[in-house]
Structure formats: structure tokens, C-alpha cells
Structure 1
Amino acid sequence: MKISNCRSRRAALSVALGSVLALTATACGDDGSGAGGDKGAEGSGKGKIVFWDNNGGVRTDIWKKIIADFEKANPNIDVQYVGIPATEYQSKVDTAIQGGGLPDVGGVGAAMLAGFSAQKALEPLDERLAKSSLNGKLNENMVKSLKAAGGGDGTLYSIPTSANNGVLYYRTDLFKKAGLDAPTTWDKFYKAAEKLTNRSRNEFGYTIRGGAGSIAQALDAMYGQSGITSFWDASGARTTVNDPKNVAALEKYAALYKKVTPEADLNNDFTKMVAQWDSGTIGMLNHNLGSYQDHVKALGVDKFRGIPQPTGPGGKRVQVSNPVDGLGLFKSSKNKEAAWKFIEFAVSHASNSKWNESAGAIPSNKEAVQDAWISKAEPTKLAAQALNDGSTTIVQLPYYLPDWNTISKADNEPNFQRVLLGKMSAKDFLDTLADQLDKAQAEWKKQHG
């Protein structure tokens, strides 16, 4: 993570957290009021604001519809939309924090929230929410999740827009033809992956994510199979990622690569993986609710289903937490009043429902959750049920660590590719990851008493 004009990004994470917290307060003369000491201004509530979409290209169309609705309702405010691909968003914001040019409003999900808030780039939103028409209308657990991810001070720096959830999509037509049961357990998942594979006909049982975003999916598969329900041990000082049960689970999961998956999976991010599944003959895909509409467009509703992650022995389902997404108000904004109006509008009942229906995600607005489309979108309906009926245990990932996003992406995605290629053992990979996490946790605990 780029943390000041005085230092370059660290390649290793081991002491990054302490450095972030120290440097954001002292480096280059920052007075703690925001990047470069820029406190911004409330502004007139009129004029131009800039909005950065943290999933540009994927959600561009729906955001442009919401912006058009907002500008119609607020003719004296002009919203400039900037779509930034998810893989580039964090580095783009980090660069702007140090060099200037931040937007007024931007997508700020739980996974990157701590890093931005540690650099004092975000406006606290508790008071604004308390006085807002949104007060009392947002899902309390999503609000709590973003408060917990903010770095440890209990401040709300992002207004939740949606919650995602891990989903196992499978081709019902292929399963029926092969006489296979739905992959509701991990045993059934592995059996189907093997039976549906015929490499000579370019048919595969599964597509594995080897490119950007691969770590979260691998963690989901690990904890889902091992049944371990906490990311930290009883002391809270050591991570469980390299527990022997997780090592064994990752070994089994990584062994799927090239055996029952396309070779191209090594470099596939979610957009390439989803497109490959939608256009090919692949039995199963792990992603989240966000790709549901893509599958509907490509396959219709009769050739696939999206179900909660498989259960392990005894019918126990364990999943890692999927980050809540949200909208943040950048502290350097010179028109915070207008920017806040946009956030309020975007998370209002109608807009929040419209956005989440397009994304297939779970709305943060409690009124939007009651809308009819929820019951018609089976993966969203099943995901919501699984989270609320007691059948699922969620392993909470440490989004509160400012460099969690860096650890789980740039620092370790290349190593995961080495595991898939057989050039690095699952144990060595997880031991390296655990060492980074334990040091980051120790630094975080030191800073927070």
C-alpha cells in the first residue's frame, strides 16, 4: 500500500500496519485531518461532484441510470461518473490520496476500508447518518460490519449498499444428463467435478479462480472443507489459515487445476472466469451473487442454479465472510453537502433496490429487501436464508487490518499460482500467509492496546 509521498510501497507486509498508522499522522507534514491536511468543505450543495465506481465496467450501466434519476431529482447537481475496474481501484485511490485528485464520493467496501481510513482520507459519517432519512432504514449487521472494518475506532466511514455471498453455481442440464445429485456437499462437489470432465471434448467439471481475487475463493474452499470456524486461534494472536486441516483442504482443492479445470484458469479473474463458464461447457463455478444476472443472460434460468456453498461432514456449512460494499465520502471533497445527497439517494429504497437487483446482491436498505424481485432471484433468496436460518457459520476475515487487501491480493496471488502449478506446496504458501497475518495482527493490537 502506498502510504506517503516519502516512502514507496513495501513489498512485504510484516510491519506495514504500524507504519500506516504512524505515517498517516506524521509523514510529510500531514496534520491528521486528511491527505495533505485537506479538510475539504461543505460547499453549496449545488454544482459538480465526482463519483468513482469501484467496479467500473461491470456496474457502469446501473450506476448511470441511478445518476440520471438523481440529476432529475436534483437538477442543480451534476454527477461526473468515473468507472474504475475493481482490480485497479485500490491503487488508484492510494495514488490520489497522496498526489491529489480524489473524488467526492467513491465505492468503499469493507476489504479496503481500513487502508483508506488509516490514511485519514474518509469523512466520518455517523452524525450525517443520524440526521439522515436513511437513519433506521439500513441493515444493522451491514452497518456494524463496516464500522468493524474501519480500523478499530468504531467510526462509520462508509454507508453500506449491499452484501454479497459466496455461491456455487452449477449447470443443472449437465448434472441431469450425467445423473448427478446437486453439489450440496463437498463430497458431491468433487465427484461431480471429476465425472463432468472430458478434456478431449473441452468439457470440464469446474473452473478455478487463479488470477486476481483468487485468495478469498481459496480461503472459502479451505474453511468450508476443514470446518474451522474462526480466523484466529483462542489467543487471538495466531491465524488458523495454516492449520493442518486447512492445509489438507487446500491441497485437495488446488489439485483440481488442469485435472478437471481449463488451463486458462491460472490467470482468470472473475470476469474472465464468469465469461468462460457462461459460454462453455463447465459444470460448476464458485463466485458470488454479483454474477447471477450474467448467467441469466447467457444461459436463461433453466440451465443453472446458484446455491449456498457445500456443507461438510454432519451437514455443517462454513463460509468466509464476503465484504459488505458501500459508498464513502472523501474528506477532501469541496462539496460534501451535495456528495452526501448523492449517497442518500443511492441508498434510498428505490435506488438501492434497483442497484441490487441488477447486481443480484442483498440490499442494505431494509425496505428494498422486501421487494418482489428478491423471491424471484433464487441465489439471492437462498443466500439470505442460509445467513439467517442458523445453517451457516461465517468465518470473519480481518478486514480491519489496513493491509488486509494487500496481503490477500498482491502479496500472495502469485504464490497461489505457484501452488496451482505445483511449484510451491500448499503448506509453504499458507505458512507464508500466516506469518504475514500474525505480524500484522500483532502490530494492530499494539496500536489499539
Structure 2
Amino acid sequence: MIKRLMHKNTYLILVCILVLMGGLVGCNKSESGGNNSETASGEWKGQTLKVQMIGNFSMESGTDPITGEKVKGIDVLKKEFEKNYPGATVQFIIMPWEGYVEKTQAMLTSGEADVYQMPGIADFAAQGVMEPLQSYIDKDSDFDLDSFIDNQVDGWKALGPDETDLQIFGLPFLGDARFIAYDKLLFDQWGVEYLSDNPTMEEVMEKAQKMTGTNPETGERNYGVYFRGDWSSAFTLVNAAEGQNGNWGEGFAWDEVKFNFNSPEMLKGLNWLLEMKEYAPEGIMSNQGNEKWLTKDNNIAISLNMGPGDLVKQTYAQGLEDRIALSQEFKNDEGKGGLFAGSPIAIAKNSKNKELAWEWMKFATGDFVQKFIYEEQGLMPAVKSAFEWDSVKEVDHLMNPIFKAMSTPLTPRYPWGSSQPRFILQAEIESALTGKRSAQEALDRAQAESTDWVKNR
């Protein structure tokens, strides 16, 4: 009986303690902005933020096709954001890269999303459909533009319809760059010195020529170089001109743009590509011939205009970490050159949830999301803090050159990079590479057609 009373009293005491603790926890949540009914009915209640994303994103967890490891889906981002902003709901609209410009245009017109992943930001800002961000940056003491890798913010600056000075319409979300990759094993087998960190066009050609033919150790056919003659050829050519202190042209607003597509530097660059084609597989005009690249049976010594893509993951998945090395693309005398690439994120002018959209912008460019896109998706972060992540330090012999390439292109991004002049130039380069026109004829046509397009757009 005494024992039962003791147990009963102990039970009552425990209940009282739990009730008191519950009250204290409730108070603490209220003070810290936690997820209680009072907070949930605050400024974010009922707000649904629609976020458009481009690429191979998936809501659910899945298996990485390269490594075979399990990777998290972007539902992780949804849960984390909604936890930090009680009452808010995030909806993702995922689209593939194919046709993304036209699809984004349609979405903006109909007001389908609040936040957009927007590599073609220069064109959309000029239409007046994007929200300028400077006022948000100025009033937010918790936000610092210095958190981004050098050049990343400047690279995405653009002009609004009534502005003469470049403005910030987007924040860096996905980093990207272009560089030259090479296989040290093939260099060793041919007895050729590795590429320098900043090679010249002449150095690349000389070494590609030496490693084209029958490998002296394996007896297999090797190719000194690979580059795409189709999709990325315009950027490969412009970079060759930059390496000679030339450029694509000048201006940013369309009424001020002047092209140098048929300049002496561009002509020398195209003739260089024509000769380099002799040391490449036959399929470069249709993105073929590089099937063995980044495998143990690789037969290509040098790959031009490479992007990070799956390079780091595949290098390690194939056990090639001691073979693959990176050099910089061609730079001018100021150490600048190469394609500025990646994706910023931006707020739609017609968004009805702009304050919440700004909170998403900060969230998406913070360490939680930036680590997610790197460690789970294999994409490049755009923030300086990545330099110190253990997951980056483990592969720093590849990541350090990539980060350098991200910080040294000419900025802002080529204003024609997602517009018709790019495809005009690309088509004419293909004509030269397939023997339909001489290099001079091709570039003269690219110059004339691009100039006419700007006048008549």
C-alpha cells in the first residue's frame, strides 16, 4: 500500500513537472519565432512561393547514375525552408534544359512562378519582367555580397529597360566555368610534358599534334584533342580570340552592341580550330568520338572547353583521380578570359510574394542549399565558404582550378550568350569546319547576320 502511494505521488509529481516544462517550451518557442500557432499565423501564413528550377532535379531521393550512391531530392530544401519560415509553403516547378528560354518566357508572361533560375537574365531584365535587387540588398544587414566567389555577382549584372548602368537582377545560384582538361597517363605514354596551368594556343596545338596517332605503349589509336564542333563552338572560338587580347565585341544594351566576329583574332582562332580538327576524332561535329573520355580506356589527350558537369564525380567513380588534370582556358594579358556560365536566381516583377521570395534568395545562396547542390547534385557552388568544405578539400586538385576559372572570365556574361547571334556564329563555325565555307567567309557572314539581327530585333 505504501509502495502504491509512493508510486502514485511520484506519478503526480512527474505529471506536474511535464506540464510546467510544456509551458516553458511554449514560451521559448514564442520568443524565438518557433513553429507554434501564434507564429504560424504571422507574416508568412498562407503564402505559397513558387520556385522554378532548371535541370535534372528531382523531388524525391534517388540513385546517382554515375556513382551508384543514394542522393537526396529537393524535398529536403522544401522542408528546411518551411521549417525556417513557418506558415509558408514552397512549390517547385522543374523544367529540363531543352527549350528552357521559351518555357521561361511563357511562365513569366502568365505569372506562374515567383523565383526563377535564369541563365538568360540579360534578355529578361531588358524586358522589365525581373525585380531589381539592390534595394533588398541595401536594407538587409544579414546579407553580404562578398560571400560569393569573385566575379560571380558582376557576371550576372544586366540592364533594365530604362537603365544605362548595369544592375543586380539575380544572385549567383549555380556556379560554372570552362577549362581545359587532359589525361596525364597519355602524356606520359607519349613522353610529352604536361600542359602548363595557363597554356597558349600554340602550346595546346603542339602537344595535341604529338599525341595523335598510334600510342607507342599501347598500340591503340590516340587523338590529341577533342572539342565540340557544334553546340559550344562559338564559345571555344571567342576564347581563342581572348587569348590573343581580342574580344567578341563591345556593348551590353542591344542598341549599343557591336560585334567583332570577323576580327583578325577571331579569324586566327577559327583557322586554329580548323587545324586542331585534324588531331580530333571524326565525330566532333555531332558530339561523337569522345565515348572513351573519362574512362580507363580513354584515347583523348586534351579536351577543350570543358565544364565541371559530372567531371569530378566521374573522375573519382572511374578511379581516374591520378590521371585527370585541369588547366585554364586562354587568358588575355590581364589574366581574364573564358566563358562566364552558370545560373543566377531572380524574382519575377509580377510576384505577389516578393518579401518571401527575397528570403528564398538568401536561403538558396546560403551554405545549406549550396552544399546540397554540390554534395547531392554534383553542381558547382557559387560561395567562398565552399573553399573550406571537407567535401571540396577532398578533391581540391580538381576544384581549385575550377574555382579559379569561375573567378577569371570576362564579365558581365556575353549579352548574346543566350540569343540569336550565338547560334548564327555557331552555324557559321560549323560551315567552316565542314568545308562549306572558308574561315573568312564564315566569319564575314556571322558578322553581317548578327549585326542585322540586332538592328531588326
TM-score when normalising by structure 1: 0.72
| Residue equivalent to 1:94 | 105
Distance verdict in 2 for CA 1:306–1:75, change over 3 Å? farther
Give 1:305 shift. Answer: 0.8
| Residue equivalent to 1:327 | 345
| Residue equivalent to 1:252 | 272
Distance verdict in 2 for CA 1:262–1:161, change over 3 Å? same
Aligned length: 384
2:207 is the alignment partner of 1:192: yes
Deviations 1:366-414, CA, capped at 9 Å, x for gaps: 44444344444223313545787xxx7x544663x4x552234433333
Bigger Rg, which one: 2
Please give the secondary structure, in 2, of the residue aligned with 1:155: coil
Structure 1 residues 394-409: aligned runs within 5 Å = 394-396=409-411, 399=414, 401=415, 404-409=417-422
Distance verdict in 2 for CA 1:350–1:246, change over 3 Å? same
CA contact (8 A) 1:108 1:328 kept: yes
Please give the secondary structure, in 2, of the residue aligned with 1:413: helix
Please give the secondary structure, in 1, of the residue aligned with 2:357: helix
CA contact (8 A) 1:278 1:295 kept: yes
Give 1:248 shift. Answer: 1.7
CA contact (8 A) 2:129 2:349 kept: yes
Structure 1 residues 186-265: aligned runs within 5 Å = 186-198=201-213, 201=220, 203-224=222-243, 226-228=244-246, 231-232=249-250, 238-257=258-277, 259-265=278-284
2:163 is the alignment partner of 1:144: no
Give 1:220 shift. Answer: 1.4
Give 1:131 shift. Answer: 3.1
2:137 is the alignment partner of 1:129: yes
CA contact (8 A) 1:291 1:360 kept: yes
Distance verdict in 2 for CA 1:398–1:322, change over 3 Å? closer
Please give the secondary structure, in 2, of the residue aligned with 1:307: strand
CA contact (8 A) 1:134 1:348 kept: no
Give 1:136 shift. Answer: 4.4
CA contact (8 A) 1:167 1:379 kept: no
Please report the RMSD computed on the Cα atoms of aligned residues, expressed in angstroms: 3.8
2 CA distance for matches of 1:230 and 1:264? Answer: 27
Please give the secondary structure, in 2, of the residue aligned with 1:49: strand
1 CA distance for matches of 2:138 and 2:98? Answer: 33
1 CA distance for matches of 2:193 and 2:143? Answer: 44
2 CA distance for matches of 1:126 and 1:277? Answer: 44
2:419 is the alignment partner of 1:417: no
Please give the secondary structure, in 1, of the residue aligned with 2:236: helix
Runs of at least 5 residues in structure 1 that lack an aligned partner in the other structure:
1-42, 445-449
Structure 1 residues 249-398: aligned runs within 5 Å = 249-257=269-277, 259-268=278-287, 277-279=293-295, 280-286=298-304, 287-296=306-315, 297-309=317-329, 319-323=337-341, 325-356=343-374, 363-375=381-393, 376-385=395-404, 394-396=409-411
CA contact (8 A) 2:114 2:348 kept: yes
CA contact (8 A) 1:329 1:339 kept: yes
CA contact (8 A) 2:331 2:337 kept: no
2:118 is the alignment partner of 1:108: yes
Letter in 1 for 2:130: L
| Residue equivalent to 1:21 | none
Distance verdict in 2 for CA 1:114–1:129, change over 3 Å? same
Deviations 1:320-360, CA, capped at 9 Å, x for gaps: 34135311112233433333322211111332244346677
TM-score when normalising by structure 2: 0.70
| Residue equivalent to 2:10 | none
2 CA distance for matches of 1:325 and 1:141? Answer: 13
Instruction: Report the identity percentage.
Output: 20
Distance verdict in 2 for CA 1:230–1:347, change over 3 Å? same
2 CA distance for matches of 1:150 and 1:308? Answer: 33
2 CA distance for matches of 1:418 and 1:178? Answer: 33
Please give the secondary structure, in 1, of the residue aligned with 2:116: strand
Distance verdict in 2 for CA 1:72–1:303, change over 3 Å? farther
| Residue equivalent to 2:95 | 84
2:184 is the alignment partner of 1:183: no
Structure 1 residues 3-22: aligned runs within 5 Å = none
Give 1:115 shift. Answer: 0.9
Runs of at least 5 residues in structure 2 that lack an aligned partner in the other structure:
1-42, 61-70
Distance verdict in 2 for CA 1:441–1:406, change over 3 Å? closer
Give 1:170 shift. Answer: 0.6
Distance verdict in 2 for CA 1:424–1:201, change over 3 Å? farther
Give 1:137 shift. Answer: 4.4
